[in-house]
A = this chain, B = another copy of it.
Amino acid sequence: MSHFTSRIYNFNAGPAMLPTEVMEIAQGEFLNYQGTGMSVMEMSHREKHFQTILDTAVQSLRTLLNIPERFGIVFFPGGATLQFSAIPLNYLQPGEFADFSETGVWAVKAMAEAKKFYPNVQSVYDGKPNAYTEIPDLTEADIHPGAKYLHITSNNTIYGTRYSEFPKLSKTPLVADMTSELLSRSLDLNQFSVIFAGAQKNIGPSGITIVIFDKEKLPEVKHPIPNLMNYALMEKNGSLYNTPPTYSIYIAKLVFDWLIKKGGLSVMEKENEEKAKALYDALDASSLFYAPVPKKHRSVMNVVFKSNEPKLEAEFLKGAEENGLAGLKGYRDVGGFRASIYNAMPKSGIDTLVSYIKHFESSKA
């Protein structure tokens, strides 16, 4: 039974912990937003208060990520899964193809979805033989001639890997699914044609996806695209082609405000690296637990770890739950444990987890 009287450390992979400061603001104005007499959830999307929220969200995101003007920013409904269909439909003409770097389930799923419409899609890397614990070092030489773009998953939530450096492509456009790491580090947008991220990790509630794309590199395709997948149409309408998930955009806006107040992404990046280092250091020093991912490929957002004695796993998880450390169970295909430590996870959460790991280990010595 659940019994916590206050908020706990939530290591869920997504939907995930959101900043308590943000949640308190949202709670405070839940019934009556800034004297309007209604919740943001009850407000017309065509009305000035919501338009201000949306405009501020877009502008803050542009500032935070230093997004050049030639990039459009759109809040799409649905998760990254909708983009797995939308990107090929927007970027490939019939008979064309793209390359995919298969660093995990999400890249594999994205490739399978594209293949339904474009049977010639190709793989440039298959991480399955290494149980997806490594990230390839890709360059233009790895791209199949004629590929219209390369699709990567920049951070692999399930396996705890990430591209520390992105593929350096001299001509092929790069498309990056950044669902589990967008806003956790600074980026040079000039390296990408499209980046996208489902919101439920570092941004806000599940059910919206942020798409940032270079408008100059969007081709004109002749085939029909469903309206809610059409990049040009959605961008032209400023995310308001139809009624968007307004409340989710509002929470995202509050998260962006919070990030700006914290000092932006360079501050966040440093904090995230320190948090991840503290946890990986503890695991590397442990004789009971270990991180299976080689150091250079380790994610800063999702720390996957295992025990040398799998029979202790259930006890470890039960004790963690009782101590207010939730969501540490590993993904079903991987087993073991996973601590997702997104922006909202405070350093104190890492410290508490590290203490618990050490305490558990010494109790078994």
A residues at B contact (CB < 8 Å) = 1-8, 10, 12-18, 20, 23-24, 26-27, 30-32, 34-39, 41-45, 47, 49, 77-82, 84-86, 89, 113, 116-117, 198, 200, 204-208, 224, 226-229, 241-248, 251, 324, 326-327
Contact = CB atoms under 8 A, between A and B. Distances in A.
B13 A39 contact: no
Contacts of A241: 81
Contacts of A10: 37-38, 42
B35 A4 contact: yes
B37 A6 contact: yes
Given A113-B227, A205-B245, A207-B246, A41 B15 contact: yes
Nearest to A33: B2
Given A12-B42, A205-B247, A37 B227 contact: no
Given A84-B227, A226-B113, A15 B205 contact: no
Contact of A242 (B23, B41, B77, B79): B79
B24 A224 contact: no
A332 to B, nearest CB: 9
6 contacts: A5-B35, A12-B42, A14-B243, A17-B42, A78-B242, A206-B244
Contact of A31 (B24, B113, B229, B324): B24
A327 to B, nearest CB: 6
A243 B198 contact: yes
A205 B82 CA distance: 20
Which of A18, A198, A251 lies at the interface centre, i.e. has the most chain B CB atoms within 10 A of its CB?
A: A18
A30 B20 CA distance: 11
Given A5-B32, A37-B326, A198-B243, 6 more contacts: A12-B43, A15-B42, A15-B43, A15-B45, A23-B41, A245-B248
Contacts of A113: 226-227
A206 B243 contact: yes
A65 B324 CA distance: 40
Nearest to A116: B224
A362 B241 CA distance: 41
A93 to B, nearest CB: 16
Contacts of A5: 32, 35
A81 B2 contact: no
Contacts of A204: 41
A207 B13 CA distance: 22
A23 to B, nearest CB: 5
Contacts of A42: 10, 12, 15-18
